[in-house]
Structure 1
Amino acid sequence: MQNRERWVADTLVELADILAPALEPKSYWLCVANRYAELVGSSSIRLSAGPVVVHTDERLEKPPLAGILSEEGPGIDCHVDDKPVVDVLLDDAVTRWRRLAPAALSLGYRSAHAFPLSRREDVLGEVTILTSETAPVPVADLRLAVALADAATIGMLNHRAIAGLTRTSEQLQGALDSRVIIEQAKGLVSARLEIDPSDAFRVLRHYARANNRRLSELCELLVDRHMSASDLVGSVSHRAKRTGSRR
């Protein structure tokens, strides 16, 4: 790999850029998989993270490997044990992975590795690497592979947290805006029909239910003058009228 330091810097920045509102998990994980393919020579990558599965080589998606990697292999082992699986020669793994090893060998792969995408109690998935090389992965590259998995996991966890906070904020703001509109409409109906605010709220709620409308939608129509309080007169209860007459 040429300019290793530049590659590391660019990779870390790319994985940390999770604030884009339109960030797609599949695109993010494919980026991670491609980075592994650059790090480990002559390799094909399968990355599984929940419902998202991406590949850097179409051979992993077709027979004889199609389906096998989701049932056995280094990825499954590292997911279960939550620790990397490295430098496993496929010639020596026929007993360990009875289906995967022969299938991978038939396609020219010679060794396998896998790294968990996990952080403390959060386990997102795993990265499986099949390579045609038999030489052990250099220690420095193994450290980078682990760091890459950690950085990608942290990035995705942060994206999920930010997305969750954004949704909560939007929901709270929507509830607040709705409440303000309802209070405005309640005051308007109370003044125009000369009834108590509590009775005005009952009038609004009754009209909304009777006409299969959301209360906030009805109140918005009233506040924006697309409806008038007189349109609600037919739904005013006798009790509300009596209350108004005593004022």
Structure 2
Amino acid sequence: MRSWRLDRPTLSGHLDLSRATSLVSAIGSDDANAFAAEVLKLLGDAAGISQCTVFAYEFNNRPRTVSVADHRGGRYLHNVADTYAKTFYALDGNQTIISSARPEKLDTAVLLHQQAIEDISHEGYRAACYHQPDVLGRLSLLLQPSQDIWLSVNLYRDRKRGHFHPSEIALIEAFAPLIAQTAKHHYALCGQIQTGIPQVMLARLRGFCPDLSKRELDVLSGVLEGRTAKDIGELMGVKASSVVTYQKRAFRRLGISSQRQLFALCLAPGRE
């Protein structure tokens, strides 16, 4: 597992302008998965990429799937992405990068993170997101369209292709600025959700208490959206009783004991 910044990539290899044009044309497409499909066409044969998923991490919430493409077609990769976002995202090496970023500073560089199946110690995560989809490794392009929002363009390798070769990584680095810019524009047109009151309030809570865990933030997000413990549990893939436990822990960290106090804390003046 390794990560690095891509400030000034150098082009090594042939840039297929026709494929690059197709990628740009996919921005704002009515087909949500057209963008990931064009990334797959752009890099698939040359870099050995068989699957592509674009996730949005908004206001420290669980990731939301923006676009997916799989050489097998169908809903298979959608289901894998849903499982990842519901259960395993907090175990991803990408989370270390996103969580450690300074919230008040926008990073304009493209960050790359490489993760192989042997880097994953959690048996369930490894089985659901690597073994079963026949993935050996992944290279992620991480970028920030704005503060509190990250995009991850995940590029996956089939087991039969082996690990990434240095020349393939160099090719991905060469295309990374193009992919990053088009991903930002596509997200702005098709993937970006309207920033509502619950998201703003959740951002304030994170400012009050940076020690809130991922699970606690997921629960608080559901509470602020008016969901029941059962509904929140179904979204998180846990029991309703676990939701109650996470909520109690979050309330203790915030120094409150009720939902009324939670909303009062979010709306109180002078806490920015």
Give TM-score, length-normalised by structure 1: 0.46
Structure number with higher relative contact order (C-alpha < 8 Å, ≥ 6 residues apart): 2
Larger radius of gyration: 1
Give TM-score, length-normalised by structure 2: 0.42
